Amino acid sequence: MFGMLRCLWDYRGFVISSIGNEFAARFARSRLGGLWMIIHPLSQVAIYALILSNVLAAKLPGIDNKYAYALYLMAGMLAWNLFSEIISRCLTLFIEQGNLMKKMLFPRITLPVIVMGSALLNNLLLFIAMLVVFALLGQTPNLQMVWLLPLTLAVVALAMGIGLILGVLNVFVRDIGQVVPILLQIWFWFTPVVYPVTIIPEELKSAVNANPMYSIVSAYHDILVYGKVPDLQQVTITVLVAIGLMLLGLFMFRRAAPEMVDAL
Partner 1 sequence: MSLLVVNNLGKAYCSYSSEWQRIARWFYLPVKPQEEHWTLKHISFSIEPGEAIGIVGQNGAGKSTLLKMITGTLQPTEGSVQINGRIAAILELGMGFNPELTGRQNVHYAAGLMGFKAEQIEQAMPEIEAFAEIGEYFDEPVRTYSSGMQMRVAFSVATAFRPEILIVDEALSVGDSYFQHKSFNRIREFQEQGTTLLIVSHDRGSIQSLCNRALLLEHGSIIKDGAPEEVMDFYNAIIAEKENTKVQARQLEDGSVQTRSGTGEASIESVGLYNAKAEPIEFVSVGEPVSLRIITRINSDIPELVMGYMIKDRLGQPVFGTNTHHLGCKLESLRAGETLEYRFSFPANLGVGSYSIAVALHTTDIHISCNYEWCDLALVFNVINASKTPFVGLAWIPPTVECYR
Q: Which of 9, 17, 124, 179 binds partner 1 (CB under 8 A)?
A: 17
- Please state the closest distance from residue 24 (CB atom) to partner 1, in A: 6
Q: Which is nearer to partner 1, 61 or 103 (CB)?
A: 103
Give CA separation, 29 vs 23, 52, 190, in Å: 12, 35, 37
Which range of residues in 5-13, 68-76, 179-187, 231-239 is near partner 1 by CB under 8 A?
5-13
- Please state the closest distance from residue 78 (CB atom) to partner 1, in A: 28
- What length does the chain have? 264
Which range of residues in 102-110, 118-126, 184-192, 208-216 is near partner 1 by CB under 8 A?
102-110
Helices (H), the chain: 2-10, 12-29, 36-56, 68-96, 98-103, 110-136, 148-172, 175-189, 205-209, 212-221, 232-263
Cβ count near 194 (within 10 Å): 20
What three-state secondary structure class fits 104?
Answer: coil
Cβ count near 50 (within 10 Å): 10
Q: Is 258 in the site for partner 1 (CB under 8 A)?
A: yes
Query: How far is 116 from 110, CA to CA, in rounded Å?
Result: 10
Supply the DSSP symbol for 63. -
Q: Which is nearer to partner 1, 24 or 128 (CB)?
A: 24
Query: How far is 125 from 37, CA to CA, in rounded Å?
Result: 8
Residues 25-54 touching partner 1, rule: CB under 8 A, are 25, 28-29
Q: Is 241 in the site for partner 1 (CB under 8 A)?
A: no
Q: Is 169 in the site for partner 1 (CB under 8 A)?
A: yes
- Please state the closest distance from residue 129 (CB atom) to partner 1, in A: 23
Q: Which is nearer to partner 1, 54 or 103 (CB)?
A: 103
- Please state the closest distance from residue 106 (CB atom) to partner 1, in A: 5
The answer to whether 40 and 156 are in contact (CB under 8 A) is no
Q: Is 118 in the site for partner 1 (CB under 8 A)?
A: no
Angle at which helices 148-172 and 232-263 cross, to 10°: 30
Could you give the dihedral angle defined by the CA atoms of residues 48, 54, 56 and 59, in that order, rounded to the nearest 10 degrees? 150
Q: Is 170 in the site for partner 1 (CB under 8 A)?
A: no
Size of the residue set binding partner 1 (CB under 8 A): 32
Q: Is 55 in the site for partner 1 (CB under 8 A)?
A: no
Q: Which is nearer to partner 1, 14 or 187 (CB)?
A: 14
- Please give the residue ranges that form the binding site for partner 1 (CB under 8 A): 10-11, 13-14, 17-18, 21, 24-25, 28-29, 97, 99-106, 169, 172-173, 251-252, 255-259, 261-262
